[in-house]
């Protein structure tokens, strides 16, 4: 996998939206933080653009993203928000410039479309908080984004929680939003998880749908040779009037019961305040024990 160069003070970082609409006022805090870090924010034309719920038309959003990845002075592209819309433009993007000279693409949720597609191209990307949420994210999550962008090696140690499955695994870190991974199955953007560590998170889903999505990943071979599973925030889950009968942990454990890889729940990633930065595509080690779960990077940076 190709890792983009880490940033240094004075570098330019673009802020754009590939999905839902957002205005400049909503990213004001992010602009201030970028400047505080010594970086130069470049605001894309999609910020403030409106086409119904989207940040401009598909053509406008695709062109904004294209211009930022083609601009040699831009060292990172920070997606301002998720929602829905990135899949509508993914096939219109020419990734040749970023293949020649990788740069950090940052975001989560709907941005899983970009992360997954970049992974198929052999390029690392950054699953991390976005400007829309920056006012409510923890200091630790902000620090993890800054430290990762500037090349500080990070290791996460989190307390053990009930129903973790102990064990150890190594491999490239892949994944993101469960609904998006599910929707990409069968497409050219679907990831290969063989020998890798898969992380998933989601928001505002019915429990039966979580079950359906996990079964679909299983039927697509996502768990066949997996080295480890990280379950992040499964936030604001819903149940039917007639209860489904299982919560998220039991759904996941039942579906992966036949496999022997470690499983960790409540990892700080996703639609949670403590959304830690993760380098997707990087070689990592996952150790799950009675006391804690440790995620550490094995790559040279």
What 3-state DSSP class applies to 197?
strand
List phi, psi (to 5°) of 174: -135, 165
Bridge partner residues of 12 (DSSP): 40, 74
Burial of 225 (0-12, 13-18, 19+ CB in 10 A): middle
C-alpha 288/C-alpha 64 separation (Å) is 42
Longest Cα–Cα distance of the chain, Å, equals: 56
What 3-state DSSP class applies to 287?
strand
For 239-292, the three-class secondary structure string (H helix, E strand, C coil) is CCCCCCCCCHHHHHHHHCCCCCCCEECCCCCCCCCCCCCEEECCEEEEEECCCE
The answer to whether 271 is a known catalytic residue is yes
Exposure class string for 23-33: b at 16+ Cβ within 10 A, else e: eeebbeebeeb
Which of 201, 205, 227, 287 is flagged as catalytic? 201
Residue 161 token pair: 């929680």
C-alpha 239/C-alpha 207 separation (Å) is 6
Residue 151 token pair: 């090349």
- Tell me the chain's radius of gyration from C-alpha atoms: 18
The answer to whether 135 is a known catalytic residue is no
Which of 109, 183, 190, 227 is flagged as catalytic? 109
Place of tokens 């904004």: 64
C-alpha 198/C-alpha 154 separation (Å) is 18
Residue 177 token pair: 């939003």
The answer to whether 258 is a known catalytic residue is no
Task: State the catalytic residues.
Answer: 109, 201, 271
């Amino acid at each position: 996998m190709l890792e983009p160069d880490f940033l240094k003070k004075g570098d330019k970082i673009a802020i754009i939206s590939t999905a839902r609409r957002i205005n400049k006022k909503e990213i004001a805090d992010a602009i201030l933080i970028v400047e505080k870090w010594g970086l130069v924010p470049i605001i894309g034309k999609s910020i403030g653009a409106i086409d119904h719920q989207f940040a401009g038309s598909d053509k406008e959003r695709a062109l904004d993203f294209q211009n930022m990845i083609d601009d040699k002075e831009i060292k990172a592209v920070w997606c301002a928000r998720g929602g829905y819309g990135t899949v509508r433009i993914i096939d219109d993007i020419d990734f040749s410039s970023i293949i020649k000279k990788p740069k950090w693409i940052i975001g989560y949720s709907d941005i899983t479309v970009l992360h997954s597609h970049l992974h198929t191209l052999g390029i690392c990307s950054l699953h991390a908080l976005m400007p829309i949420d920056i006012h409510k994210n923890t200091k630790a999550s902000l620090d993890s984004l800054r430290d990762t962008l500037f090349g500080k090696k990070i290791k996460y140690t989190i307390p053990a929680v009930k129903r973790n499955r102990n064990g150890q695994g190594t491999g490239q870190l892949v994944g993101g939003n469960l609904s998006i991974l599910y929707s990409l199955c069968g497409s050219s953007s679907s990831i290969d998880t063989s020998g890798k560590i898969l992380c998933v998170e989601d928001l505002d889903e019915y429990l039966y749908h979580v079950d359906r999505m996990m079964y679909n990943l299983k039927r697509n071979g996502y768990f066949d040779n997996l080295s480890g599973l990280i379950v992040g925030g499964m936030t604001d889950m819903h149940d039917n009037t007639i209860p489904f009968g299982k919560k998220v942990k039991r759904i996941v454990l039942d579906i992966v019961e036949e496999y022997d890889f470690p499983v960790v729940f409540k990892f700080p990633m996703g639609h949670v305040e403590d959304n830690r930065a993760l380098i997707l595509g990087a070689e990592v080690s996952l150790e799950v024990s009675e006391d804690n779960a440790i995620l550490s990077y094995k790559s040279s940076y």
